[in-house]
Amino acid sequence: MLNANRFTDPALLKQELKTLLVQRIKLDQFFDRFLEQFEMKMKPEKTDTEVWKLYKKKYKEYDDICARIQTTEHFLKKAGNV
């Protein structure tokens, strides 16, 4: 998570962005493999299965990372270092 120093230090912001982008790529790869393997088991009318629970957990993680990427990009733009 970003601390107060990272909001103003462009080098730290860039490093944070790089780390977050790698995490997002890894989750993209996870979803590709996961859906390839379990898509047929994911019935929309029955979302209380273990497969769905894992999917929702990972999607929440993905959503949080995307929000952090947007925040980090905002502060980089604010610092004038895109």
* pTM for this predicted structure: 0.83
Domain housing 31: 4-78
Number of folded domains that form the chain: 1
| Average pLDDT score over the chain | 90
Could you write out the DSSP letters of every residue in the chain? ---GGGGT-HHHHHHHHHHHHHHHHHHHHHHHHHHHHHGGG--TT---SHHHHHHHHHHHHHHHHHHHHHHHHHHHHHTT--
Average pLDDT in the 4-23 region? Answer: 87
Residues 43-82 pLDDT 10s:
999 999 999 999 999 999 999 999 999 999 999 998 875 5
Average pLDDT in the 12-21 region? Answer: 95
pLDDT class of 8 with cuts at 50, 70, 90: confident
Of the candidate ranges 6-15, 20-29, 65-74, the one whose mean pLDDT is the lowest = 6-15
